[in-house]
Chains A and B, each alone.
Chain A
Amino acid sequence: MKQVFAAAFLSLVAGQASAEPAEFYDQFLGHVIRAYDLKPLPTKPFEATAKYKLGQMLFFDPILSGNRDISCGTCHLLDRGTSDGLDFSIGTGGSGLGERRTLPDGRPQQPRNALDLSNRDNNWVKAMFWDGRVEALDPIKKTFRSPLGDELPSGLENTMAVQALFPLAQEDEMLGLPGDRSPSSLPGPHADQENEIARATAHLHGATKIQQALDLVMTRLLGDEDQSLQPWQRDYRKLFHDAYPHLSAQAYSIVEVANALAHFEEVAFATRATPWDRYLAGDPSAIAPTAKRGAFLFFGKGRCVVCHSGPLFSDFRYHSIGVKPHGPGYDGDGEDLGRYRVTGLDADKYRFRTPPLRNVTRTAPYFHNGSAKTLEEAIRQHLDPLYYADKYDETGGHAMTLAQIDSVSPILILKTTLHPEDVAAIIEFLSALEDAGPKNVREIVPTSVPSSLPVQGEIP
């Protein structure tokens, strides 16, 4: 009997003692949800329309690249959250996919980390690229600012469509260099071909070069009706006709290519039914107690929400968080001036667009130069943005210049008291923003493309 009483007493005490504060977090998050008016992210239904199919083929077909060796899908991999797992993307001339992708000596390396493509159709997206060089000025009237300036063709449907134009005309991404030839291992008519697009645009600069390159891409894609068409050109004409039945073949332009690419990306790469969205829809069991604590910290004491705000967790504004220089740098010698290259304002030096966070757990490494290998490292940088202010780089020089130190956002200079377990909880919350992944991979990644080139540009 004594043992029974003792056991009952201890279980009572233990029961009281184990009453975790977890039950508070649903109440806390109720306040958070009301305060920030949080709702599940609306997404377009997955529907493989004719426009989707055209965009899908264009996305995965290396025929759009000067050397026929790289497609959009080469650097935007599904299993890397539509990024590529590398510090810096490797464009044309490279081989392999993901972390295995390598670049031969002498080829120009891209100086920035590949951005993911999740939810980029959302109206909340106001800017593309790390420096925001493509921006929506008026999403309703569909006016944009881009490196093409006034030469930007009309009819582009959103910022994603505008963005899709530029990698095609970028030498270190898809255009290639004059004198390049396609790999000899490519099938049939594509092997060892001269890069006619890079040759024809070699002497051009700026908007003229971009326009000329895009025109030549269209010629290669659809051919000339007066001459005999290649098999892939006939296939693409059919796909264009199905996707744009109201247009005549003469009217097909790079605008239709960009709009189809954007449409495919917005349908294929929408994050659907993430645990966090299910929680917002009213399922309290959708996320673990630690993730709830993480969400509370994200919106509260951690102050992450000050910049990572809105349904996509980005304010689409520009901030400097003291990221250490790494790699070649967009401006050479490891330097990357970020937003300054677009606006020319001193105040914009070293500032970069706040990255959206949906699927962030799948898109390592982080920052514009991929210098943070893990999310923990990336969060830590936010907590201590001046960590490198008194450190030295590999060459013995200062890791941060005075200008870089001055550029650090005052939002981050304010003291943030996050403990290591808090950081772990925030990472757990960020995991709840992860898309479960497309259940229909085969509807996203095709088994073949009209050109018969390797899908995604993985050269044999």
Chain B
Amino acid sequence: MADQQKVTRNRENLWIRKVPAWLIALLLSAYLAMEYVWPWVVLEQRESDYLKAAMLCHEALSNLEEIQGAAGQFDPPTAQALLKSAMIGSLDCYERRSLRSYLLAQGVNPNHLDVIDTAAALSSQTALPSVVEGLIRK
């Protein structure tokens, strides 16, 4: 009997039993918010920025690649000037990388960002020929 009373007392003394249920619920909610809701909110807010930055980066790298391929047909100063401008242009990728780092730090799933990267690459490939045409001809 005494033993049974001791066990019951011990149970009652468990620290967890002393934590109010409302606090546990709050902490659990906070965890879920940080883990799932916050990354979702951040991605919702920045997805279009990231898509744009990824597109710009893809375009810049495509430009650099094209100029590297064509450099041979220009005189050396012109080829050098073209490459220099394309390399400056590739700084656009810094923006994407910086934004990606920020989003990952906020808990965004990298797989989601990879999907956006792919969409940006496809989008810039299909959109580019119409970019120039898209400029208003008066």
A residues apposed to B, CB below 8 Å:
13-14, 16-17, 21, 24, 27-28, 31-32, 35-36, 296-297, 299-303, 305-306, 309, 373, 376-377, 380, 383-384, 387, 410-411, 414-420, 423
Contacts and interface: CB of A to CB of B under 8 A. Distances in A.
11 contacts: A17-B45, A21-B95, A300-B60, A300-B91, A301-B63, A305-B85, A377-B138, A380-B132, A383-B135, A415-B128, A420-B134
B71 to A, nearest CB: 10
A383 B132 contact: yes
B91 A296 contact: yes
Interface string B79-95: 00110111011111011
Interface string B2-15: 00000000000000
Contact of A411 (B66, B78, B92, B137): B78
B66 to A, nearest CB: 6
Contact of B88 (A31, A377, A423): A31
A100 B20 CA distance: 85
B131 interface: yes
B45 A16 contact: yes
A418 to B, nearest CB: 7
A203 to B, nearest CB: 46
Interface of B is mostly: helix
Contacts of B86: 300-301, 303
Contacts of B81: 305-306, 309
Contacts of A376: 135-136
Contacts of B128: 415, 417
A144 to B, nearest CB: 24
Interface in B113-137: 124, 128, 131-132, 134-137
Contacts of A417: 59, 62-63, 124, 128, 131
A98 to B, nearest CB: 22
Given A377-B138, A417-B62, A384 B132 contact: yes
B91 A415 contact: no
A306 B92 CA distance: 19
Contacts of B73: 410
A28 B135 contact: no
A297 B92 CA distance: 10
Given A21-B53, A299-B88, A411-B74, A420 B95 contact: no
A258 B130 CA distance: 51
Contacts of B49: 17, 21
A342 B41 CA distance: 65
A306 B82 contact: yes
B60 to A, nearest CB: 6
A31 B87 CA distance: 11
Contacts of A377: 138
A414 B132 contact: no
Given A24-B95, A301-B63, A418-B131, A380 B85 contact: no
B82 A303 contact: yes
Q: Which of A17, A35, A309 has the most CB of B within 10 A?
A: A17
Interface in B17-49: 41-42, 45-46, 49
Contacts of B104: none
Interface in B89-109: 89-92, 94-95, 98-99, 106
Nearest to B85: A303
A240 B1 CA distance: 127
B131 A28 contact: no
Contact of A28 (B41, B45, B94): B94
Given A27-B94, A296-B88, A417-B124, 10 more contacts: A13-B41, A16-B46, A17-B46, A300-B86, A300-B91, A301-B86, A383-B132, A384-B132, A411-B82, A417-B59
Contacts of A31: 88, 91
A261 B46 CA distance: 58
B83 to A, nearest CB: 10
B135 A420 contact: yes
A301 B92 contact: yes
A37 B45 CA distance: 38
Given A13-B41, A24-B98, A301 B53 contact: no
Nearest to B69: A414
Contact of B85 (A13, A16, A306): A306
Contacts of A416: 63, 132
A59 B98 CA distance: 55
Given A410-B73, A420-B136, A415 B63 contact: yes
A414 B131 contact: no
A334 B88 CA distance: 39
Contacts of A21: 49, 53, 95, 99
Nearest to A409: B78
A384 B91 CA distance: 24
B66 A415 contact: yes
Contact of B89 (A300, A410, A419, A423): A300
A423 B137 CA distance: 13
B41 A306 contact: no
A354 to B, nearest CB: 12
A65 B59 CA distance: 54
Contacts of B135: 376, 380, 383-384, 420, 423
Given A21-B95, A24-B94, A299-B88, A13 B42 contact: yes
Given A380-B137, A417-B128, A13 B45 contact: yes
A369 B113 CA distance: 50
